[in-house]
Amino acid sequence: MPEELAIRIEDLSIKYKINIDTKKTLKNAVMRASKGEKVRTRIVEAVKHLTLDVPHGSVLGIVGANGAGKSTLMRAIAGILPPTEGQITVNGKISTLLALGVGFNPALSGRDNIILGGLASGMTRAEIEEKTEEIADFAALPDGFIDMPVRTYSSGMYGRVAFSVAVNMTPDILLLDEALSAGDASFKEKSFNRMRELCAEARTIVIVSHALQTVNDLCDSAIWMHKGNMLAKGKPEAIVDQYLKFLDVGTLPSNLEDM
């Protein structure tokens, strides 16, 4: 892989196999076997033959409708979902914020969850303890909520902690899946600034967001995914434009129909 690349995705396909009618139990399996029935499954192709290079220090935005395969792609880059075909090469340490609340245990305090989250992402106990205060400060929850059980949090507070954890991990590659919309206006501005900082520190960032303005402001390039395909790739403004037009009209632009 060329030096300057942080992520290289080559002809990546990811398929989910879904059992349609029965629950996956031993009992059902035995029943079916005794009747000679087969399991009915459906294959969902969440990502189809996607090829993409992400250079070091660049910020990539991914836009697309629900079910387009964005989260699936992010999980594959993080090494969580194995490719069905193709391969992904990643150069650098990854921090993920995929959907809100990475492994958050609602019975524990925010602080404990920060420690657990840090350890899960591969930090040592000393490293995360050193960072906990910084993360808690960044989240800036009102009146000592950081030491209260997470189940008492509002969804905004929850999102703030999750976001603070992800952006304070000093990763080489940061994956954010619909995470920028956490919190109120002031926190949004703060997280936006933090993102700017991270970009300036030459980190590689991949953002999935429905806040198209954010994509425009933060990203160097963007892709548009639709039903597992990468429909377009280019400058964020152009991509967002195309995507907005699609959202307005509800049909794909004619030059992309055949994909």
Ligand X SMILES: Nc1ncnc2c1ncn2[C@@H]1O[C@H](COP(=O)(O)OP(=O)(O)O)[C@@H](O)[C@H]1O
Contact residues for ligand X, defined by CB under 6 A? 16, 18, 44, 46, 64, 66-72
Binding residues (CB under 8 A) for another protein: these are: 1, 16-17, 23-27, 29, 75-76, 78-94, 96, 98-99, 101-105, 107-108, 112, 115-116, 119-125, 127, 149, 170-172, 201-203
Among 48, 54, 60, 71, binds Mg ion (CB under 5 A): 71
The minimum distance between CB 207 and Mg ion, in angstroms, equals 12
The minimum distance between CB 15 and another protein, in angstroms, equals 9
**Closer residue to ligand X in complex, CB, 69/101:** 69
Give every CB contact of residue 29 below 8 A, 6+ residues apart in sequence: none
Number of other CB atoms surrounding residue 54 within 10 Å: 23
Kindly list the distances between the CA atom of residue 159 and the CA atoms of 131, 203, 229, in Å, as whole numbers in the listed order. 18, 22, 29
Collapsing DSSP states into helix, strand and coil, what is residue 41? strand
- 125-139 vs 155-167: helix axis angle to the nearest 10? 130
Collapsing DSSP states into helix, strand and coil, what is residue 16? strand
Residue pair 192/59 in contact by the 8 Å Cβ criterion: no
The minimum distance between CB 98 and Mg ion, in angstroms, equals 8
The minimum distance between CB 70 and Mg ion, in angstroms, equals 5
**Closer residue to another protein in complex, CB, 2/36:** 2
Q: Which residues bind Mg ion (CB under 5 A)?
A: 71
